[in-house]
């Protein structure tokens, strides 16, 4: 492990653009359950009944209680040492963009300033009809489901199944993947398109791929150059330390 850690640290130190791609695994230790796991919320709410755009638009009053529980989870969540390590890398000039599949806003809460949210943000609301954005306090006021002044349904500004990804975020992510010299993949098996293509695009453009995951993924064998097999909370501070300790 120390050899892989030092190799990864040297890659980060080597100059050029560094980007991170993060997923649910980085936020589990902050109390946000993995969407595709079997913990808590998703035991009780089948994503097919609660997380598709069709389910939301046809039965918003049924979906909102689940969304409010998710809001509570996110309100209670705090960044963990892995989020902080990525923010520290940015401050050191060794992290140029964090691309995340998470909607919890914990990268920004940890201090990362350059963040692209591929699946939107659970900390904003949007009107499905006119596109007006709201803070999340709108949901605690008045009747369920919350409605916009225009009469449209208000929904968290996150991507439900069946919705297109935000195009500008996706374009920024693809461009960063194509030009980066190092991609740090943290807490994601990167199996869900289109995020799954980002490490491949980076690799095709000769980037070094560093992977932080507790178990091997589809990337580990053929794509990853340095595999740090441990939880993000444990290994990310050690990676920063290894980088700081380089001669």
Considering only 96-104, 128-136, 179-187, 197-205, which stretch makes contact with Zn ion by CB under 5 A?
A: 128-136
Considering only 12-20, 146-154, 166-174, 211-219, which stretch makes contact with Zn ion by CB under 5 A?
A: 146-154
| Count of residues in contact with Zn ion, rule CB under 5 A | 7
Its sign, for the CA torsion 132, 133, 135, 141, is: positive
Q: How far is the CB of 145 from Zn ion (least distance, A)?
A: 13
Q: Give the count of beta carbons closer than 10 Å to the beta carbon of residue 129.
A: 13
Considering only 50-58, 59-67, 99-107, 143-151, which stretch makes contact with Zn ion by CB under 5 A?
A: 143-151
Of 92, 144, 150, 171, the one binding Zn ion (CB under 5 A) is: 150
Kindly state whether residue 132 participates in binding Zn ion, applying the rule CB under 5 A.
yes
Task: Report CA-CA distances (Å) from 242 to 4, 194, 219.
Answer: 11, 32, 23
3-state secondary structure at position 18: strand
Kindly state whether residue 144 participates in binding Zn ion, applying the rule CB under 5 A.
no
Our answer to whether residue 119 is catalytic in this structure is: yes
Q: Which of residues 59-118 bind Zn ion (CB under 5 A)?
A: none
> What's the rounded Cα separation, in Å, for the pair 137 and 63?
18
Kindly state whether residue 154 participates in binding Zn ion, applying the rule CB under 5 A.
no
The catalytic residue among 83, 96, 107, 119 is 119
H helices of the chain, where?
Answer: 2-13, 41-44, 47-50, 53-58, 60-76, 81-91, 106-110, 167-179, 197-204, 232-244
Q: Report, as residue numbers or ranges, the catalytic residues.
A: 119
């Amino acid at each position: 492990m120390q050899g892989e850690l030092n190799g990864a640290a040297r890659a980060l130190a080597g100059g050029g653009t560094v980007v991170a791609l993060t997923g649910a695994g980085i936020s589990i230790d902050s109390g946000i359950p993995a969407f595709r796991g079997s913990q808590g919320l998703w035991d009780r709410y089948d994503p097919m009944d609660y997380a598709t755009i069709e389910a939301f638009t046809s039965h918003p009053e049924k979906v909102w209680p689940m969304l409010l529980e998710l809001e509570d989870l996110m309100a209670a969540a705090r960044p963990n040492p892995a989020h902080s390590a990525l923010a520290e890398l940015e401050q050191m000039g060794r992290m140029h963009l964090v691309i995340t599949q998470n909607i919890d806003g914990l990268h920004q809460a940890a201090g990362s300033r350059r963040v692209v949210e591929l699946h939107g943000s659970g900390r904003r609301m949007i009107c499905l009809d006119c596109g007006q954005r709201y803070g999340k306090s709108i949901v605690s006021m008045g009747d369920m489901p919350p409605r916009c002044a225009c009469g449209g349904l208000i929904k968290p500004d996150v991507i439900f199944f069946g919705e297109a990804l935000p195009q500008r975020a996706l374009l920024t992510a693809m461009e960063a993947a194509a030009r980066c010299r190092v991609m740090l993949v943290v807490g994601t098996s990167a199996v869900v398109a289109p995020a799954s293509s980002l490490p491949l695009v980076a690799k095709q453009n000769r980037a070094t791929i560093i992977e932080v995951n507790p178990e091997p993924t589809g990337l580990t064998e053929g794509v990853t150059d340095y595999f740090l097999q441990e939880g993000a909370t444990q290994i990310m501070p050690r990676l920063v330390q290894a980088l700081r300790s380089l001669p």
